[in-house]
Amino acid sequence: MEEACGLSFSAATPLLAEMLSFKVSALPPSEVTKDLAKHGLRLSPSFIRGIAQQDGRLAVEKATTWQLEVPSPQAPVEVVATGFDGTTAPIRGEDYKEAMCGTIALYDRRGERLSTEYLGAMPEAWKADFTNRFTSRVTRVLARYPKALHVVLSDGAVWNWRLIKEHYPGAIWILDFWHAAQHLSQAADAIFGRAPGEEKSAWFERWKTALRDEVDGVAGVIRSLIYYRNRAVLEGKARKELDAQLNYYRSHDDKMQYADYVAAGLLIGSGVTEAGCKELIKARFCRSGMRWDRDSGARVLQLRAIRLSDQWDSFWGKVMRYAT
């Protein structure tokens, strides 16, 4: 009867297949074997891997056609904050390549995070699949909460802002404050040298605070950088580095109005996406000795994203109803 309904999971029942796939989204099959053995169920890692790969293949194939649901937020959604970033994963025969993580977080009027949805993609040329899936999903979420503010947070990567400008011209753009502060630290190294010093520390803390707390604080940062760049004592590599940092702040000054963002109750850091890179990809794909094929890795990554997004029940309900 299961085969006639398209619900064949090899030698596993649907309940066992669900359990194994759920566990493999978090643990390697060898560890799942040990976990199950403690409960008297002895299955080989190869069997567990095969079942999870079968379910993961379905998750990948239906990623754009099955609209998975999550529990409704407990409060009205005031802000939809989206972000994406890359992080490396070990690919068999290719060393480390950039995988992608995207996040869609919902917030209430007090700034409390209500839920987070994760999307991931294994390394791919031009990031086309990730871009299509991420932008499509964001469009659906924004349509669901038409009155919510859409905020996009990112670091200064050129590719990121090219995508943001193309797809989200009407959103509020915010460059992650901690990346901006990191560039301020690099500017301090160029001005005062890499060695610690009181003058260097005082300058950095002064302008880091101004950047965050003063209205249009980035303008003050730019003026200070111009002052030091024009000093005759700054030459060679130090001057070139300072020019690079000055260009960075000039290029992104419209996305660094942090005092205004804070006053409006908005986030100024992309910590949700940074944490997503670690939790979605690093924690599962970068364990000691691991190497991944793109196809098999994509299946585990999709299962893991569904689990972390609290969409598992919705996904498995569709498996039981529509799987072919």
Question: Cβ neighbours of residue 56 under 8 Å, at least 6 residues apart?
Answer: 21, 296, 298, 299, 300, 302, 303
Burial class for 73, CB neighbours closer than 10 Å (0-12, 13-18, 19+): middle
- The alpha carbon dihedral of 212, 214, 219, 222 has a sign of negative
- How distant is the alpha carbon of residue 235 from its chain centre? 39
pLDDT tens figures, 103-128: 999 999 999 999 999 999 999 999 99
pLDDT tens figures, 174-211: 999 999 999 999 999 999 999 999 999 999 999 999 99
pLDDT tens figures, 289-298: 999 999 999 9
Where residue 8 falls among pLDDT bands split at 50, 70, 90? Answer: low
Question: Cβ neighbours of residue 179 under 8 Å, at least 6 residues apart?
Answer: 155, 156, 270
The answer to whether 81 touches 261, Cβ cutoff 8 Å, is no
Give the integer Cα–Cα distance in Å for 285 and 27. 10
Give the integer Cα–Cα distance in Å for 243 and 283. 37
- How distant is the alpha carbon of residue 236 from its chain centre? 37
Q: Is the pLDDT of residue 233 over 90?
A: no
Model pTM greater than 0.75? yes
- Mean pLDDT (the chain) is 94
pLDDT tens figures, 32-53: 999 999 999 999 999 999 999 9
- Domains of the chain as residue ranges with CATH: 14-69+293-322 (no CATH), 79-175+269-276 (3.30.420), 178-259 (no CATH)
Beta bridge partners of 84: 102
Beta bridge partners of 292: 91
